Amino acid sequence: MVATDLDTQFLGDLPRPPVEVVRHDITRDTVELDAFDLVPARAVLEHVPSRGEVVMQLVKAVRPGGVLVLEDLVFGAALVPISGRILSPPTKTAAFARAFPAMEAGFRGAGADPQFGLELPAALAAAGLRNVDAEVTCRLIRGGSEESAFYTMALQDLGPRLITAGLLTPDELAEPLAFVQDPVSRWFSLGMVTGWGWRG
C-alpha cells in the first residue's frame, strides 16, 4: 500500500509497514505502471490545471481489472439555492449567499475549479474506463461540531485574502464565521462527488 502527497507531513501517523509514504507530484513525476488494484485520489484534480492528463496518468497506475476512484468538490453560487432550503436559522441565508460565491471566486483565482467534481464521470469515461459511475454527497453539518471545524479554519484562512481582494468586507466575513461556530446552526456541507471506473 502506497500513500502519496506533495507534502507528506500529515501522513506521519500511517503505520509503516504496511503503508509506504512517498512524496509525489502527479503533474510531473512518473507513476508505476499497472501497479495497483485500487487508485484513489481525493480533492486533487480540482487543484491542477492539466486535469485530463492527470487522469490518464492515474489510469496507467491501475492494473487491468482494477478501479480508479476520484473525489472532488462542488461548491459555490450554484449550491446557494439548495443550501438555503436546509440552512438554519434561515435568517443567516443571506450571509452564506455572500460568502459562498466569494470563496468560489477565491478558489478560481488560485487556479482551482470549485465545480470540477461535476466533470468526473465524463473525465473517467474519456480516459477509457468502463462501468463508470458516480455519486454526490452533502452532509448535514452542525455548528460547533468537529465537522464544522473545517469551515471555521477555511474562513479564518481564506477570509483575510478575500477581504484584500475585495470579495468580502470584514462584516461579511464575521457573520458566517460566527454562524459555523454556533451550536444552533445547521447547513449542508460542500458537495463531494465520488466517481469511479474499471480499467479493462
Return the domain boundaries, the chain.
31-198
Query: Whole-angstrom Cα distance, residue 47 to residue 186?
Result: 28
Query: Whole-angstrom Cα distance, residue 170 to residue 146?
Result: 25
pLDDT-derived band at 79 (thresholds 50, 70, 90) equals: confident
pLDDT at 107 over 90: no
Q: Is residue 155 within 8 Å of residue 99, measured between CB atoms?
A: yes
10 Å CB burial of residue 131 (0-12, 13-18, 19+) is exposed
Q: Classify the C-alpha dihedral 96-100-101-102 as positive or negative.
A: positive
- Listed in order, strand segments (DSSP E) in the chain are 2-5, 20-23, 36-42, 62-74, 130-137, 140-142, 186-188, 191-198
pLDDT at 106 over 90: no
Give the SS3 label for residue 180: helix
pLDDT-derived band at 75 (thresholds 50, 70, 90) equals: confident
Least confident of 10-14, 112-116, 162-166, 182-186: 10-14
pLDDT at 142 over 90: yes
Q: Is residue 167 within 8 Å of residue 84, measured between CB atoms?
A: no
pLDDT-derived band at 17 (thresholds 50, 70, 90) equals: confident
Q: Which residues contact 121 (CB under 8 A, 6 or more apart)?
A: 132, 133, 134, 195
Q: Classify 166 in phi/psi space as left (phi over 0), alpha (psi -120 to 50) or beta.
A: left
pLDDT-derived band at 68 (thresholds 50, 70, 90) equals: very high
Q: Is residue 76 within 8 Å of residue 115, measured between CB atoms?
A: yes
Least confident of 99-108, 113-122, 152-161: 99-108
pLDDT at 81 over 80: no
Assign a CATH topology to domain 31-198: Rossmann fold (3.40.50)
Instruction: Tell me what pLDDT residue 199 has.
Output: 97
Q: Is residue 141 within 8 Å of residue 147, measured between CB atoms?
A: yes
Cell digits for 173?
466575513
Segment 43-62 mean pLDDT: 94
User: pTM of the predicted model, to two decimals?
Assistant: 0.88
Strands 191-198 and 130-137: antiparallel
pLDDT at 119 over 80: yes
Segment 128-140 mean pLDDT: 96
